[in-house]
Amino acid sequence: MTLVEIKRLLIGEPFPTSREIHERLDKVRALAVFASDPISSNAYATEAIMSVLIALGSGGLAMTLPVGMGVAGLILLVIFSYIQTILHYPDGGGAYTVAKDNLGTMASLLAAAALLTDYILTVSVSISAGVRAVTSAVPAAFEYRVWIALVAIVLITWVNLRGVRDSGTIFAIPTYAFVGGVLLVIVIGLARLNSLAGLPTSAPVVPASDHGASLAGFAYVWLLLRAFAGGCTALTGIEAISNGVQAFKPPESKNAAATMVAMGVMAMSLFVGITFLSTHLRLAPQEAESILSQLTRQVTSGGLLYYWVQFFTAMILFLAANTGYQDFPRLSSFLARDNFLPRWLQNRGDRLVYSSGIMVLAIISSLIVIIFQADEIAMLPLYALGVMLSFSISQSGMFRLMGRIRHLKKGESLKTQVTEIHYEANAKWKQATNALGAGVTFLVFIILVLTKFMEGAWVVALLVPVMVTTFYGVHRHYDRVAEALTTRGMTMDDISEVADVVVIPIADVHRGTVLAIEFAKRISSDVRALCVTTSAQMDDRLLRRWNRFPEITADVQLIRIEYDYRDVLSPVVDYIEQLNEVEFPDKLTTVVVPEFIPEHRFANFLHNQTANRLRWRLREHKDIVIIDVPFHIDSRL
Amino acid sequence: MTLVEIKRLLIGEPFPTSREIHERLDKVRALAVFASDPISSNAYATEAIMSVLIALGSGGLAMTLPVGMGVAGLILLVIFSYIQTILHYPDGGGAYTVAKDNLGTMASLLAAAALLTDYILTVSVSISAGVRAVTSAVPAAFEYRVWIALVAIVLITWVNLRGVRDSGTIFAIPTYAFVGGVLLVIVIGLARLNSLAGLPTSAPVVPASDHGASLAGFAYVWLLLRAFAGGCTALTGIEAISNGVQAFKPPESKNAAATMVAMGVMAMSLFVGITFLSTHLRLAPQEAESILSQLTRQVTSGGLLYYWVQFFTAMILFLAANTGYQDFPRLSSFLARDNFLPRWLQNRGDRLVYSSGIMVLAIISSLIVIIFQADEIAMLPLYALGVMLSFSISQSGMFRLMGRIRHLKKGESLKTQVTEIHYEANAKWKQATNALGAGVTFLVFIILVLTKFMEGAWVVALLVPVMVTTFYGVHRHYDRVAEALTTRGMTMDDISEVADVVVIPIADVHRGTVLAIEFAKRISSDVRALCVTTSAQMDDRLLRRWNRFPEITADVQLIRIEYDYRDVLSPVVDYIEQLNEVEFPDKLTTVVVPEFIPEHRFANFLHNQTANRLRWRLREHKDIVIIDVPFHIDSRL
């Protein structure tokens, strides 16, 4: 089985480029692919609010619903803003494109760096959370958690390399099963609310902590803000669709916007429903059991539906990683297209996905899993910061765009760098919404930075500027390359002449060398065979064999260099350098390398890699053309 | 600081080949380099006998001295045999050369495989034993034992890469300090024997084990044989000098033989002295303290000399690894010279040592240390087998050689394959000694296999035949290569003609491509630029740029291939194959690859490695000459 056959088996037959349009996602699959991250946040967002408020004692939990409604309002704002983004930037690119078009390169790179960091962490955190669900069920597996996480990354990478549609199909089931299950729990809960609320709750009455009890004024507001910031984890992943507009079947932006609305409705309903029921059933965060599990147990009395929800919670946490696999490769490809990342990140693989980006993501997130030993709790302080920063930048960008639209008259339109804008009604109100959204998300960002800085957020604060600097460095490199390669203004004088000389480094006279000499004689009248001799015997043998073929060697100059060291490449390189710089300055010098190639690749191991090493050393020098004349031998081990 | 400068700093300035003779070892250094392994065996050989005999109870230990004398006798036999080997095979090579010259290839390869296995294990076992000495002193270091062992391997590798004389100087101190210390203990012990023997011993009286008590007849003999086999660990490393005759200053074989005698006298004196005193002082093996430590403590009453001996015991155990570093690279180089191992194992590095062999040894022994987690007790069953087998083969070979010498008349001489033999007096007696030595060492080998097979000796039993098969495979490969390369019987018709066609795969028209086309036009009248276009825009742009330089592109055929997949190399390779096999069969086809080379190597990362990948794919095909036309750009990141 060849390597190519193995690849075919794993990845599937390659798709023609023209098939790209068929590989696009319909709305049902797209929702599953893009929504697993934001929807899975419902497994813990309500709890994140409560675990801050519990500092005020059980009584403080009464604030959960108001804070939750605030978060819900923010979700609405953000979704509204991103729908605008999708409609105005139908080629996708989300925060990066919006910022590029409205706020300039620096802002766009800042947003991109923040998002890329977050996408990598999405994979590491989600996989680790999924592994925690597994090891909670099977404690003996805890010792192997890093291995389990790495296997999960390999599997999810594999599915994504098979193509977007394939992964959409595979991921649809757990997403819809989770949403359906939790919605059913909410409906039953609301229907039975009166009878349930009367029941005694299992949650213990917690007194306010010493610190919490004495809170007043600013401290109280700060606690509410922290609870609010905690609840904002429900927002992670919401922006995914705006990046991936081009993954939808046409009409792309319409389908994407519709999917965004569906996702928003689902995420909001789940979040509001869970938060409402949790407060009315007077649930409180507990070490051993999550809020969602408490809620489901109480509503369903622990029946089949309870296990359904629990199972698919674990599944969707695993699959939330997939959002990273959708977003990271696509955003990297945008940056690569704009020359801010290596260009090969734009290449689509056999199945029309950004294979290189997928592999890069898999490698980096695996490293993070290894460094943090699959402990997602330790990674969380690094997480969610980036998303908030990009939300804020994105909404600021939309604020600018709406400002420009406001100045258009009815029927007028205008081309920006990236897109075309037309007159819109209500642009003023839309702009106000964006201003509010930008302000609130920026506030949440600041709260997150302040509260999590010492726990690890400083890593992100350090990483993002480093990434932005790298982006600029890569861009400068490509600029210089383009300048050097351009044919504009080029004249024939700019092309180096070829010197009429060919050097052939040889170690011995054999069929391979003879072939190389014959080739050299075809292309030059001044052929020089160069041999470094390290002993008198070697010198004798060489001369004897050389003189055996006068018809071949007659017109060829044999240059023997006696050398008392074993590093025979150095005198060869020195001779060629001298030739290139002194004897034929400013001309191309040609070196013919007789290369011995065994039929079996493994047999390379049995030979000095002199030809390869010589090529590597000459590669550094300008104006040297290297000709490999191969001599193949059928010599299987 | 460049890589070359770092190498110079670590390894030192390169030596000229002609300096080799100055790098040879004088007898004092040679003894230190070659003797650390056999002399260090005295730290445990006596104990190895006692720990078997203790099955008979304290009373059984009385057999220690007789068994020890038997071992001492065997040491004498083996040393005598190896002195003969050194004198008859002054070019070195030990068991391998003797077997090759007298018993045939198979026996020589068997001996070589057994020895190479043992040399690798010498390093792993000695380093691990040294680490155990360290972690006994500092128990907190136990967790890091594998790392400590790997650091020790790196250090010893480094010292050996610096050259033979350097390592000889470094290793002389601990070897002589150990020998001097133990000899002093023995002398003091003998002088005070009467007063000491009267003292009550700390050793508890051990009753015979149930098993041991009932021993009689064959079972008793078997136990004695096992004790004898245990004591034979004192023999490991004795053969080292016979391999390394060429490491000595001239007259090589005379110096080597003298060193061998000195080593034998030292090893024998230590072994007999320790065994004699241990039995007379009625010492018994104890879990917590070695026999040597018990002996030293009792003789010196725990003074300075005690600590001296303890410290240098640990040191010499570490350094015993160095014997492996002397022997493995040298024996591999013999095998490589005879084409049984990759030829590059013959290459001497900057400091005239077999650097490649040293690196291979370092890598394999590190892997073994990692696999066995630096637990030398677990490795021991694999160890010492190989040495015994090679002793037996070597003495059988010397038996044959002496047989041939016996048939020579006075003044006659005869050339064998490898050496020259002359008439010798007493050849008959020498031959009888070899027969005895071969028989006894083979018996010990069988005992070791039988007693250690299940504990791990099966690994060696499996590995040695695999290695021998590999040696033959490598040899066949080189035979075929030599046959294919030879110019004997070659006629001009055997040299492939060069087809008058040059293909240039291009992705775009830029300065690099234009340079490549100019080069191609110089060497052929039929130049074809080959471009795979994956979209209509790409096609348009290519044509536009192509037509911009009529003076360059006029005589060149532009071949555009529309392709609906992203794997653009495949159609290029297909086209070239077709050209090579159908249009110009049996001729050399030339491919010019325009290669873009950024000045900074790291920037390669930012470019598709298309040129490299193309070269790799074309390399598989016969009759294709590849020309790299480089285009250098000063584009530091």
Query: Tens of pLDDT along A359-394?
Result: 999 999 999 999 988 887 788 778 778 889 999 999
Residue B310: band (very low, low, confident or very high) from pLDDT cuts 50, 70, 90: confident
Between CA A397 and CA B580 the distance in angstroms is 57
Count of positions (residues) in chain A = 637
CA nearest neighbour of B452 among B391, B393, B390, B380: B380
- Mark yes or no for CB contact B481/A633 under 8 Å: yes
Of the partner residues B477, B588, B627, the one whose CB lies closest to the CB of residue A606: B477
**Which chain A residues contact residue B636 at CB under 8 A?**
477
- Interface touch B495/A477, C-beta < 8 Å: no
Tell me the chain B residues in contact with residue A630 when contact means C-beta distances shorter than 8 Å: 619, 622-626
Please state the φ and ψ torsions of residue A349, each to the nearest 5 degrees. -85, -165
Q: Is the pLDDT of residue B637 over 50?
A: no
Which of A35-39, A136-140, A142-146, B280-284 is predicted least confidently?
A136-140
CA B274/CA B39 separation, integer angstroms: 12
The pLDDT assigned to A637 comes to 41
**Contact criterion met (CB below 8 Å) for B571 and B563:** yes
| SS3 state at B536 | helix
Residue A104: what residue type? G
Residue to test with chain A: of B519, B599, B613, most A Cβ within 10 A = B519
Q: What are phi and psi of B505, to 5 degrees?
A: -70, 125
- Secondary structure in 3-state letters for B201-228: CCCCCCCCCHHHHCCCCHHHHHHHHHHH
Band the pLDDT of B329: cuts 50, 70, 90: very high
Q: In this predicted structure, what is the pLDDT of residue A246?
A: 87
Contact B625 A596 (CB under 8 A): no
**Cβ–Cβ of B347/A628 closer than 8 Å?**
no
Question: Does the beta-carbon distance from B635 to A597 stay under 8 Å?
Answer: no
As to burial, measured by CB atoms within 10 angstroms (0-12 exposed, 13-18 middle, 19+ buried), residue B38 is buried
CA distance A461 to chain B (A): 23
pLDDT (tens digit per residue) in A568-585 = 899 999 999 999 999 998
Distances (CA, A) of B569 to A83, A93, A106, B383, B452: 41, 30, 37, 52, 56
Tokens 């640990």 — which residue? B314
- Determine phi and psi for A558, rounding to 5 degrees: -100, 120
At residue B636, the pLDDT reads 43
Q: Which residue of B has its CA nearest to A604?
A: B342
From the list B485, B486, B566, the residue facing A348 with the nearest CB is B566
Name the closest residue on chain B to residue A533, using Cα atoms. Answer: B17
> Chain B residue with minimal CA distance to A491?
B549
Residue A162 in this model has a pLDDT that exceeds 60: yes
Nearest CB partner across the interface for A629, out of B514, B596, B625: B625
CA dihedral A598, A600, A603, A605 (to 10 degrees): 100
CB proximity A476 to B under 8 Å: yes
B21 reaches A (C-beta below 8 A): no
Q: What is the ipTM of this complex?
A: 0.81
Instruction: Considering only the C-alpha atoms of chain A, give the largest distance between any 2 of them, rounded to a whole number of Å.
Output: 110
Please indicate if any CB of chain A lies within 8 Å of the CB of B627. Answer: yes
The confidence band for B488, taking pLDDT boundaries of 50, 70 and 90, is confident
What is the pLDDT confidence band of residue B35, given thresholds at 50, 70 and 90?
A: confident
CA separation for the pair B73, B67 (Å, rounded) = 10
Residue in B closest to A486 by C-alpha: B510
pLDDT for the residue A634: 63
Cα→Cα distances B578→A571, B334, B556, Å = 40, 46, 19
Output DSSP code: residue A162.
Answer: T
Which residue of A522, A596, A637 is in closest CB contact with B477? A637
Find out whether B64 and B53 touch, Cβ atoms under 8 Å: yes
Q: Touching check for A472 and chain B: CB below 8 Å? A: no
Compute CA B343 distance to the chain's CA centroid, rounded to the nearest angstrom. Answer: 14
Compute the distance between CA of residue A465 and CA of residue A278 in angstroms, rounded to an integer: 41
DSSP per residue, A380-439: GGGSSHHHHHHHHHHHHHHHHHHHHHHTSPTT-EEE-SS-EEE--TTHHHHHHHHHHHHH
Contact partners, residue A552, CB within 8 Å, separation at least 6: A514, A517, A518, B492
Beta strands in A417-526 (DSSP E): 420-422, 497-505
Identify any residues that bridge with B560 across adjacent strands, giving them in sequence order. B531
State residue A181's pLDDT score. 93
CA dihedral of residues A547, A549, A553, A554 (deg, nearest 10): 80
The answer to whether B509 touches B549, Cβ cutoff 8 Å, is: yes
Quick: pLDDT tens for B162-219: 887 777 888 788 899 999 999 999 999 999 887 776 665 555 556 665 554 555 678 8
Burial per residue of A22-41, b for 16 or more beta-carbon CB atoms within 10 angstroms, e otherwise: ebbbeeebbbbbbbbbbbbb
Give the tens place of pLDDT for each residue, A402-452.
999 998 988 888 898 888 898 988 899 999 999 999 999 999 999 888 888
In contact, B529 and B506? CB cutoff 8 Å: yes
Please tell me if residue A302 touches chain B, with a CB cutoff of 8 Å: no
In this complex, do A18 and B564 lie within 8 Å of one another by their Cβ atoms? yes
Cβ–Cβ of A534/B16 closer than 8 Å? no
> Which tokens sit at B469?
């098969």
pLDDT at B198: 62
Write out chain B residues lying below 8 Å of A535, CB-based. Answer: 17
The alpha carbon of residue B222 is apart from the nearest alpha carbon of chain A, in Å, by 45
Q: Does B622 touch chain A (CB under 8 A)?
A: yes
CA distance B41 to B54: 20
Taking only the tens place, the pLDDT of each residue in A310-340 is 888 888 888 888 888 988 999 999 999 999 9
Q: How far apart are CA A67 and CA A49, in angstroms?
A: 8
Which pLDDT band, with edges at 50, 70 and 90, does A275 fall under?
A: very high
What's the pLDDT score for residue A202? 54
Report residue A29 as tokens. 């699959």
Cβ separation of A519 and B625 shorter than 8 Å?
A: yes
Cβ of residue B500 closer than 8 Å to a chain A Cβ:
no
Q: Decide: helix, strand or coil at residue B632.
A: strand
A348 touches chain B (CB under 8 A): yes
Most confident of A557-571, B283-297, B309-323: A557-571
Other CB atoms within 10 Å distance of the CB of residue B56: 23
Angle at A425 between CA A419 and CA A427, to 5 degrees: 65
Name the nearest CA neighbour of B442 among B163, B138, B181, B110.
Answer: B110
The C-alpha of B551 sits at a distance from chain A's nearest C-alpha, in angstroms, of 9
CA distance B391 to A628: 49
Per-residue confidence band for B635, with pLDDT thresholds at 50, 70 and 90: very low
- The reply to whether A353 touches chain B by the CB within 8 Å rule is no
Cross-chain Cβ contact A485/B633 below 8 Å = yes
Asked if residue B333 lies in contact with residue B345, where contact means CB atoms within 8 angstroms, the answer is yes
A349 inside 8 A of chain B by CB? yes
Residue B625 amino acid letter: V
Tell whether A409 is within 8 A of chain B (Cβ): no
> Is A622 in Cβ contact with B598 (below 8 Å)?
no
Structural tokens at position A199: 């029941």
